[in-house]
Amino acid sequence: MNPSKPSLVEQDILHQLHPYTDARLHQEIGPLIIERGEGVYVFDDQGKRYLEAMSGLWSVALGFSNERLIKAAEQQLRKLPFYHLFSHKAHAPSIELADKLIELAPVPMSKVFFTNSGSEANDTVVKMIWYRNNAIGKPAKKKFISRLNAYHGITTVSASLTGLPANQRGFDVPLPGFLHVGCPHHYRYAKPGETEEQFADRLAAELESVILREGPETIAAFYGEPLMGAGGVIVPPRTYWDKIQAVCRKYDILVVADEVICGFGRTGRMFGSETFGIEPDVMVVSKQLSSSYQPIAAILINEEVFQGIADQSHAFGTLGHGFTGSGHPVATAVALENIRIIEEERLVEHAAEMGELLQAGLARFADHPLVGEVRGRGLISAVELVADRTTKAPMGSVGTLGRYLAGRAQEHGMITRAMGDSIAFCPPLVSTKAEIQLVLDTFGRALADTERWLS
């Protein structure tokens, strides 16, 4: 090694500002450099192997070395590395992907609009609904309602939909007109003795009262992840979505399903909307859409929403919205191949089957003195750690136990994520039985370490 050349770690500390990282602490501890991936594993620059129990960022459905995805990207790069969709232009991969998404959608959808990320997609949804409501003569109908602890992204508008303090503190968001109702987490927010159904009734009543307080004519849409991901893998209480949707329909409020994590098999069905009985007017997909081999997201809108947008763009002579990378040919080609593989290899069914193993395996930790709740659906779950199971109190400040356990898991060769004191699991859809067992065993070791640490 050239002694005068700084190492990668030194260069990183010098010049990279990392997302979701304590920038000051990073100056001291530097990065963990991940060098390569193989199947469900990634390897650091020292050759240490980690089971990626989070699929990267809830997204690498097919694992880290899928040759077909690599070939799809290469072929498209050789044929047409870039073209755009502005001014009536198109190319085969984006057309075919839009067609495929409409075919897969759990409810009739009309049009697909592509973006590069989930945040941009949610920004786009808000703008499209504002645009459409102006077109249909409802210019006051502009507010959005989402939930506390929701995650919809980090651009100015999507961070306003998000309901997590970390994404809002210090950033001057949420913008006006973005309202948040209660988080549907029974374990944390139900009253003593309240059943899941009663809790769902209360949340639907709260939504209705917010709508009436603001005036139904001012509320454009209700926004929700079918199952909340980054907020802690929150599975809604029974009957929740039926009741929420009934309130929305009563007041002519659109329902937007943010399927960025749930989409493409994560919950054991193709979409989280199917798992939870949601009939959205607008859907947002990303992440497992391309297994994150390429950055891409998409919004699907129904015919009613499209008609307003079409009228408005016709009146103005153009739809003044779009990204250079909207429908990028390489990203759409990779996403198409990714969906082909998910279908051919029956990975949604496989995820349901492996999901049962994961959920049953984690449930075996439910009686552990440090475990408050085990929850999840399909191949996504969380274990919430507590210091006291009766009071549900954390140990010291929230996040202390979570951080420690995730650190131990990493030491034992598994990457998970601590969201506060909830440890998330979201292994690739291609995980085998043995790999799911390794997730469970490694979690068990990290939990035992945590118990020892406290004694």
Chain residues binding ligand PLP by CB under 6 A are: 57, 117-119, 122, 151-153, 225, 229-230, 258, 260-261, 286
Q: What whole-number distance in Å separates Cα of residue 4 and Cα of residue 83? A: 42
Q: First vs last Cα of the chain: how many Å apart? A: 45
Considering the complex, state which of residue 204 and residue 283 has its C-beta at the smaller distance from ligand PLP: 283
- Please answer whether residues 358 and 436 qualify as being in contact, where contact means their C-beta atoms are separated by less than 8 angstroms: yes
Shortest Å distance, C-beta 432 to ligand PLP: 25
Q: Which is nearer to ligand PLP, 232 or 372 (CB)?
A: 232
Nearer to ligand PLP by Cβ, of 119 and 302: the residue is 119
Q: What's the Cα-to-Cα distance from 205 to each of 88, 111, 212, 260, rounded to whole Å?
A: 45, 33, 10, 27
- On the question of a cis peptide bond just before residue 174, with omega within 30 degrees of 0, the verdict is yes
Nearer to ligand PLP, 132 or 152 (CB): 152
Nearest approach in angstroms of CB 369 to ligand PLP is 31
Read off the tokens for 201: 């009734």
Q: Residue 13 and residue 93: Cα distance in Å, rounded?
A: 39
In angstroms, give the least distance from the CB of 228 to ligand PLP. Answer: 8
Per-residue exposure over 421-455, b if at least 16 CB sit within 10 Å of its own CB, e if not? bbbbbbbbbbbeeebbebbbebbbebbebbeeeee
Q: 229 or 394, CB closer to ligand PLP? A: 229
Q: Which is nearer to ligand PLP, 233 or 401 (CB)?
A: 233
**CB-wise, 101 or 386, nearer to ligand PLP?**
101
Cβ of residue 137: shortest distance to ligand PLP, in angstroms? 31
393 DSSP 8-state letter? B
Q: Among positive and negative, which fits the CA dihedral 424, 429, 431, 437? A: positive
Smallest separation, CB 425 to ligand PLP (Å): 15
Confirm if 301 and 384 have CB atoms less than 8 A apart.
no
To ligand PLP, the closest distance from the beta carbon of 230 in angstroms equals 5
Positive or negative: CA dihedral 165, 193, 385, 422: negative
Nearer to ligand PLP, 66 or 124 (CB): 124
With CB atoms as reference, the residue minimizing the distance to ligand PLP is 118
Range list of β-strands (E), 203-315: 219-224, 254-258, 282-285, 297-301
Q: How far is the CB of 317 from ligand PLP (least distance, A)?
A: 30
Q: How far is the CB of 323 from ligand PLP (least distance, A)?
A: 12
